[in-house]
Structure 1
Amino acid sequence: MRRARRINRELAEVYPYAHPELDFENPFQLVVATVLSAQTTDLRVNQTTPALFAKYPTPEDLAAADPEEVEEILRPTGFFRAKTKAVIGLSKALAEQFGGEVPGRLEDLVKLPGVGRKTAFVVLGNAFGRPGITVDTHFQRLVRRWKWTEETEPDKIEATVGGLFPKSEWTMLSHHVIFHGRRICHARKPACGACPIAPLCPAYGEGETDPEKAKKLLKYEKGGFPGQRLKPPQAYLDAGGKPAPPLGAG
């Protein structure tokens, strides 16, 4: 527990601007964007959702949409037919069961089509300020590398890791870990030689340990590349991060 909390403190210093990397302006946009982020990058979702929300700004609008028109907009995100069915379905549920408002309770969110615990905690933590752990692929990979848990099922990872930290830290913990997984501790070739928590990491050496070679593996603001969001928070820009390009740019 002491080592886990120290790692989180170190990551908080490295990523004081950590944030959800999906663009959103309200809970409805966030829940839709999170559903769309399955099997693709947040960047691709962020490049796609401006057109979607411009045409269908409310759950009622999307619930009444022509599926073929929605499919055409969502095509760049992959699995666009299934995603179209999910976002139209959840929009209908919001309109019919919740007065067009995204509910702020876990038990209600997970009843929406396409919404599981991971998506629900993203929405609760970032749209409602209610603590939750987001167990995505980056989070799963890193907490096992760090020996915080040996579990492989998301629900069990969530419970085990949650027990190591105060509940109030869960949302930002998720952001810190996911940011680190995207920027430095990659799946295939982690940049161990450029990692700020290398002295604390039991998996040090799995990736490139030469500092110069490791630097070349860095992504997003650490490597000088744009991040995932077209409209990132000001703190991210102040830290040297760059907004991502819109769909079709460059």
Structure 2
Amino acid sequence: MERRTSGVTACTAVVVGIGPGDPGMVTVQALEALASVDVVVGFDKGERAAELLAFRREVLDRASAGTPPRLVTLDDPQRDVDGAYAHAVRDWHLARAEVLERFLVEEVRPGARVGMPVWGDPALYDSTLRLLDELNARGRIRVDVEVVPGVSSLQLLAARHGIVLHRVGGSLLVTTGRRLREGLPPGIEDVAVFLDRSCSFTELGDKGWHIFWGAYLGMPGEVLVSGPLGEVAEAIVQRREALRRERGWIFDLYLLRRR
């Protein structure tokens, strides 16, 4: 897939989904795309940096037969966690766009191919494509964009639990913990929830829900829990907090299914 913008193209951004954390789940197409780039760039993930950077380097080694391209890590601006969510995220994205723009303008030669590995799939809860849209809208630099999809953590969650994400002929709502706390639309029976630091599922009570939860999917120390929500909710909360303290960070998601 390729999206083209008007104007002079300074470089090509190759946005590559590299899956949830298992190098074996990186597709052949993704490896070929990464092997074609001149430089790879990503944002510093803070407390997760060392573990995730090691995985990224392993993927690049596989793609380039041991001679990976230059890897550049950019400082990730802090997001305001106390302000209004929509405004805070918008400001954060703008700050990220400025950092990325500065790098592409000042350190990347015209015509270069810039690899941008993305955890999971670029189309699902990732801001990379929005950042590139912002750069092209600003007009200082023009970037062609190529996108290679990847295995998402949601797909892996379903595989690990051995389930289908939706009923026969049914629908699936993909949302966030914040949205879950605001309430579900009528008739929803299957809900995939990302970005839930507050364990919003605890506010649902039992009410006939079953939960399929996973943390660090595809990575060492992967954890799975499933069962009736009223029976396992507190155990998930405690396990999640213990893992976060032990590892310094956590990435988890879950599927809620009305029984």
More strand as a share of residues? 2
| TM-score, normalisation: structure 2 | 0.28
RCO (CA 8 Å, sep 6+): is it higher in 1 or 2?
Answer: 2
| TM-score, normalisation: structure 1 | 0.29
Which structure has the bigger radius of gyration? Answer: 2
